[in-house]
Amino acid sequence: MNKQKNNGNIKSGKKHHKSKKQYGKQHSAQASRTSGKSKGKHRTDTPRQSNQRGITAEVTCTGLTNEGKGIVQWKGKQLEIAGLLPGETGEVNIFKKGRFIDTKLKRVIKPSEDRANLTLSFPNEGVGCHLYHMNEHAQNRFKQKFIDELMKPFGKPEPIITMEFPFYYRNKNVMTFGLNKKRQIICGLYAENSHQIIPMERSIIHDQKADEIIQTIKGMMKSFKMQPYNEDTGRGFLRHVLVRVGKKSGEIMVVLVAASPMFKGKNNFVKALRKAHPEITTILLNVNKRNDSMVLGNQEKVLFGKGTITDTLCGLKFNISAKSFYQINPVQTEKLYAKAIEMAELTGKETVVDAYCGIGTIGLIASKKAGKVIGVELNKDAVRDAIHNSKRNGMKNARFYQGDAGEFMMQMAARGEKADVVFMDPPRSGSDEAFLSSVVKMQPNRVVYISCNPVTQARDLKYLAKNGYAVESIQPVDMFPQTVHVECCSLLVRKN
């Protein structure tokens, strides 16, 4: 299987200039809310032509939004143009869409030095990658600036930890299935803020083998009379395919997410898929009857193999179920965890809490250097994986509990239990007062806070900083190259 080397479709040429026409093509229209008022001076940008599809104007980008979109001033309004970089002049389509103004970059007239020199091999390969038009330096600068500004009240963050080859890194890959207007089967990703599928065969951040398998499944559907699910009518079967890859182990899990458990011809389907891809180690059917945007439902059936995959991280072996959380970029995860463990300054005696522990990764890696580890996690499958992983790696000093981390910590604090170090790695919404106030009560010497959403992390740091803790170190890590997302690991130390 592919081992994350620069052997794929991504090519980087010597000079970053390419034909002007190529630039605009890759960027889809993004809805941008108009501010309705002029924000300071703006250029006299020249509308060229007016038609039903809006007008074309030449605009110059003055900055970036937090979503990585180019900011331009146009006729007293601030517009956001996906794909345009600061200093660049571009030709854009501007058109009304209800109460919003939509924009689409047609071409870049004067490219910036920050523009990436990528040759994409497949249509829409960059969908979902808000920053792929920026080169690595510009992406790093963008993320560093975001973290520096956000964390200013707590001190100066460390330089971001970057990824050497920032492509094809995802170990979890999902594509959604549907029909196009010609009623042909398509698969791809949802357009931003919508449930319209943008068809794509490959993504520059997906595992390449995973995308190949998804395309094989798409190709098999017709002969197996398998219909994609239609959200509007509620008819059809296949909603998504999720492929999880153990980047080190080479194990591959395929999850067919369907609207119904009635899978006609499943044995033949599984046989044909395994024949086409003998590298697949397990196949599952997940039934999702929900109406929201969650990919996986609760019901699950193993169709082939053991239903989980194993991967190695920081020298330990981890069992991963379909529904368990597992960091999506293992190369960067090893760097992140090494930093987190370093911040904890463990000596071998400490009582460590691993809160929001998932399959137990951080806690088990820390357990080698700690007295004992107590892990807590909401997701039942993940807790089962964590317990299994603890045994598998021969860790005798780690215990894992299922429950809400806030409630669990409140109970620990109420019983007068103490912890020396708390690792916390909550979901994007951050932690809550139940959890944070219990940390304050339990008075651990060190809190290592890992977060995939630095905005909620900053909010929670503020609470802890007001309640006896000093923010000693802030380490951004680029876990999600090509996208606007950034991970941040912060160390808090209890003041005397």
325 binds ligand SAH (CB under 6 A): yes
- Which residues, other chains included, contact 483 with Cβ-Cβ below 8 Å and sequence gap of 6+? 128, 129, 130, 131, 205
Q: How far is the CB of 265 from ligand SAH (least distance, A)?
A: 34
Q: Which of 61, 452, 488, 489 is catalytic?
A: 452
Stretch that binds ligand SAH, among 2-10, 22-30, 59-67, 324-332 (CB under 6 A): 324-332
Q: Is 251 annotated as a binding residue?
A: no
- The radius of gyration of the chain from alpha carbons, rounded to an integer in Å, stands at 24
Q: Please answer whether residues 450 and 362 qualify as being in contact, where contact means their C-beta atoms are separated by less than 8 angstroms.
A: yes
Contact between 101 and ligand SAH per CB under 6 A: no
Among 200, 362, 383, 409, binds ligand SAH (CB under 6 A): 362
Check the annotation: does 433 bind a ligand: no
**Of 80, 207, 300, 377, which lies in the binding site for ligand SAH, with binding defined by CB under 6 A?**
377
Does position 404 interact with ligand SAH (CB under 6 A)? The reply is yes
User: Interaction with ligand SAH in 41-70: which residues (CB under 6 A)?
Assistant: none
Rounded CA separation 479/485 (Å): 8
Annotated ligand binding at 354? The verdict is: no
E strand or H helix that includes residue 350: none
Site for ligand SAH in 180-239 (CB under 6 A): none
Q: How far is CA 189 from CA 23, 32, 126, 293, 429, in A?
A: 21, 20, 11, 12, 23
Task: Give me the helix-helix angle, 433-442 and 454-466, nearest 10°.
Answer: 40
The residue among 125 and 425 lying less far from ligand SAH, judged by its C-beta, is: 425
Torsion angle, CA of 480/484/485/491, rounded to 10 degrees? 110
Cα–Cα distances in angstroms (integers) from residue 58 to residues 87, 109, 249, 394, in the given order: 13, 9, 51, 64
Asked if 322 interacts with ligand SAH (CB under 6 A), we say no
In the complex, the smallest distance separating the C-beta of residue 426 from ligand SAH, rounded to whole angstroms, is 6
Residue 134 DSSP label = B
Closest chain position to ligand SAH (CB): 358
CA distance 302 to 199: 28
**For 263, which DSSP code?**
-
> Do residues 188 and 28 make contact, with C-beta atoms less than 8 angstroms apart?
no
What would the two tokens of residue 472 be?
């000693």
Segment lying near ligand SAH (by CB under 6 A), choices 82-90, 128-136, 274-282, 377-385: 377-385
CA distance 262 to 260: 5
Residue 76: helix, strand or coil by DSSP?
coil
Site membership for ligand SAH, residue 364 (CB under 6 A) = no
Window of 111-119, 187-195, 358-366, 462-470 that interacts with ligand SAH by CB under 6 A: 358-366
Pairing of the two strands 372-377 and 351-355: parallel
CA distances for 49 relative to 72, 76, 99, angstroms: 19, 19, 22
356 is in an annotated binding site: yes
Chosen residue from 205, 328, 382, 474 binding ligand SAH by CB under 6 A: 382
| Distance separating alpha carbons of residues 187 and 179, to the nearest angstrom | 8
Q: Does 378 bind ligand SAH (CB under 6 A)?
A: yes
> Which residue, 210 or 362, has its beta carbon nearer to ligand SAH?
362
The correct pick among 142, 356, 463, 480 for binding ligand SAH (CB under 6 A) is 356
Q: Which of 271, 427, 459, 470 binds ligand SAH (CB under 6 A)?
A: 427
- Our finding on whether 331 is near ligand SAH (CB under 6 A) is no
- C-alpha dihedral over 234, 235, 240, 241, to 10 degrees? 160
Indicate the residue among 228 and 358 with the shorter CB distance to ligand SAH: 358
328 scored as a contact of ligand SAH (CB under 6 A): no
Residue from the set 80, 136, 385, 425 that interacts with ligand SAH by CB under 6 A: 425
User: What are the φ and ψ backbone dihedral angles of 291, each rounded to 5 degrees?
Assistant: -110, 0
Q: For residue 40, give the DSSP letter.
A: S
Query: How far apart are alpha carbons 382 and 405 in whole angstroms?
Result: 14
Is residue 386 a contact point for ligand SAH (CB under 6 A)? no
Identify the bridge partners of residue 310 per DSSP, sorted by sequence position: 319
User: Which one of residues 78, 203, 208, 361 is an interface residue with ligand SAH (CB under 6 A)?
Assistant: 361
CA distance 245 to 251: 6
Q: Establish if 358 lies at the interface with ligand SAH (CB under 6 A).
A: yes
Question: Which of residues 127 and 362 has its CB atom nearest to ligand SAH in the complex?
Answer: 362
Q: Which stretch binds ligand SAH (CB under 6 A): 78-86, 206-214, 354-362, 486-494?
A: 354-362
Closer to ligand SAH at the Cβ: 151 or 382? 382
Reply yes or no on whether 452 is catalytic. yes
* Residue 379 touches ligand SAH, criterion: CB under 6 A: yes
User: Are 373 and 399 a contacting pair, CB within 8 Å?
Assistant: yes
Residue ranges of the annotated binding site for S-adenosyl-L-methionine are 327, 356, 377, 425
Which residues in this chain contact ligand SAH in the complex, by CB under 6 A?
325-327, 356-358, 361-362, 376-379, 382, 404-405, 425-427
Catalytic site positions:
452
Specify binding-site residues.
Answer: 327, 356, 377, 425
